[in-house]
Amino acid sequence: MTNSSINRRSFLKRGALGAGAVVSGEAAIQLLSTGRAWAAFGSDADVLNYALTLEYLESTFYEMGNAANVITDATEKDVLATIQQDEEAHVQAISDTIKKIGGTPVAKPSVTFPDGTFTSRDSYLKLAKTFEETGVGAYLGAAGSIQNKDILQAAAGIFGVEARHAAAIGYITGAAPEGGIYMGATETAKQPADVLAAVMPFLGGMPSAGFPPRNGNPDFLAAGAGAGLLAGAGLLVAGLRRRAAAAETE
């Protein structure tokens, strides 16, 4: 077979991460320390629901931000429109995948953003950068928990695009190349507990009042519509807290 063939047994053996046993060496240790940050999730559906929550947060954020019309530059508008499309595609694909593997997608959480988030370009883009960097770290931190190779491939593929988003926002805002666009020679994984702490202020607040219409994408709308937003967010947060606590005690 070609090098593209999948060997299921070989990936099932990948479990005990034991990074310390695999490498040390100065550069390698630093590089591979990301592996040790990987959190444990109970199942692929758990990982995907974790990702779905973040994608809901991001997609709603860009829907609201782009509807607010505070961006005037054509290039910036185009970048942000693409990011919104990507996040919506991620929500849809992840929701569908959770169903496909027999899980239940979490309800769309209610989200809330600080006053003034969407009243200026700078505040909008500043929070956008935070969300993208959080997303990059979250995917990298969860990747090691994914068992199914197709899902791993897809999650990695989403992770890379979140990194593109983060860099693009850094670029259009004139951020420093190193530390503002690029974040070093390697990406840094974030633990679920840290991701949760970062996004909690935006989850489970006010109900959906003020959400802009989602232009012409009824399929996407259907994916999240009808759920009890507050109830869903509460369950979700409880689940994330449990998971985060479990990860911390390991």
Window 208-247: residues binding another protein (CB under 8 A): 217, 219-220
The least distance separating another protein from the CB of residue 47, rounded to whole angstroms, comes to 11
- Please report, as a single letter, which amino acid is at residue 96: D
Helix, strand, coil percentages, rounded to 5, for the chain: 65, 0, 35
DSSP structure class, residue 39: P
- Contacting residue, 83, 107, 111, 240, with another protein by CB under 8 A: 83
String of DSSP letters for 204-224: S-S-STTPPP-TT-HHHHHHH
Dihedrals phi, psi of 85, to nearest 5 degrees: -60, -45
Q: Is 96 in the site for another protein (CB under 8 A)?
A: yes
- Contacting residue, 57, 138, 161, 195, with another protein by CB under 8 A: 161
Q: Which stretch binds another protein (CB under 8 A): 64-72, 81-89, 115-123, 240-248?
A: 81-89
Closer to another protein by Cβ: residue 94 or 107: 94
DSSP structure class, residue 180: I
- Contacting residue, 106, 136, 193, 196, with another protein by CB under 8 A: 136
Instruction: Please say whether the beta carbons of 56 and 224 come within 8 A.
Output: yes
Closer to another protein by Cβ: residue 182 or 230: 182
Query: Which residues lie closer than 8 Å to 106 by C-beta, 6 or more apart?
Result: 49, 52, 53, 232, 235, 236, 239
Closer to another protein by Cβ: residue 166 or 247: 166
The least distance separating another protein from the CB of residue 101, rounded to whole angstroms, comes to 5
C-alpha distances in angstroms, 237 versus 17, 109, 130, 193? 28, 9, 20, 11
Site for another protein in 42-71 (CB under 8 A): none
Total number of residues that touch another protein (CB under 8 A): 90
Closer to another protein by Cβ: residue 111 or 155: 155
